[in-house]
Amino acid sequence: MRLALPQPWEDLGHVADVGVRVRGASAEEALARLVLALAGLLAGNGRVEPEREERLSVRGGPGRALAAVALLREVLYRFATERILPAACEPVRIDEGGAEAVIAFGRWDAARHDGADVKAVTLHAARFERVGAEWIAQAVFDI
């Protein structure tokens, strides 16, 4: 399954930070939506044109929440160092030991992208768990 921008996410209303919550039918879908929520924040929901794909694999844990945070931190690092952000995300796996996804990156454009100045992905309130028939994932970003 490959998801692309825009994707639904909820604002957690966190003071001085931005928190997002996403839902998915599978853990992988929730992971892709979490990556794209970060992209939407960075892009100000402006369209991102994919230019290249890259397979990102990170170690994480214990637990899926920390694996998701590790992947989000890698995505934010790419944005900070290369000015690229996700246009689409195809999750490969998320488990206790890490996360992996194929991400289509596009170039950040100041004329189109007026998003938040995300400085860090925090561990505060990180969540990634199955609730009933769906997966819920959330992250808080320092701005």
CATH code for the domain in which residue 24 is found: 3.55.10.10
Domain that holds residue 17: 3-142
**pLDDT tens digits, one per residue of 35-83:** 999 999 999 978 999 999 999 999 988 899 999 999 999 999 999 999 9
Helix (H, G, I), strand (E, B) or coil at 66: helix
Cα–Cα distance between 37 and 19 in angstroms, integer? Answer: 10
Residue 85 DSSP one-character state? E
Give pLDDT, residue 33. 97
Joined tokens for residue 51:
């230019």
pTM of the entire predicted model: 0.89
Give pLDDT, residue 13. 66
Residue 40 DSSP one-character state? H
Q: Point out which residues pair with 141 in neighbouring strands.
A: 18, 121
**pLDDT tens digits, one per residue of 12-41:** 665 678 899 999 999 999 999 999 999 999
The domain total for the chain is 1
Cα–Cα distance between 127 and 11 in angstroms, integer? Answer: 14
Give pLDDT, residue 12. 65
Cα–Cα distance between 95 and 79 in angstroms, integer? Answer: 24
**pLDDT tens digits, one per residue of 117-141:** 999 999 989 999 999 999 999 999 9
**pLDDT tens digits, one per residue of 94-106:** 999 999 999 999 9
Give pLDDT, residue 14. 59
Give pLDDT, residue 51. 97
Q: Considering only residues 8 and 37, tell me which one the structure prediction assigns the higher pLDDT.
A: 37
Handedness of CA 40, 70, 75, 14 (dihedral sign): positive
The strand order across the sheet containing 84-95 reads: 3-4, 84-95, 98-107, 52-59
Query: Cα 120 to chain center, whole Å?
Result: 12
Give pLDDT, residue 135. 98
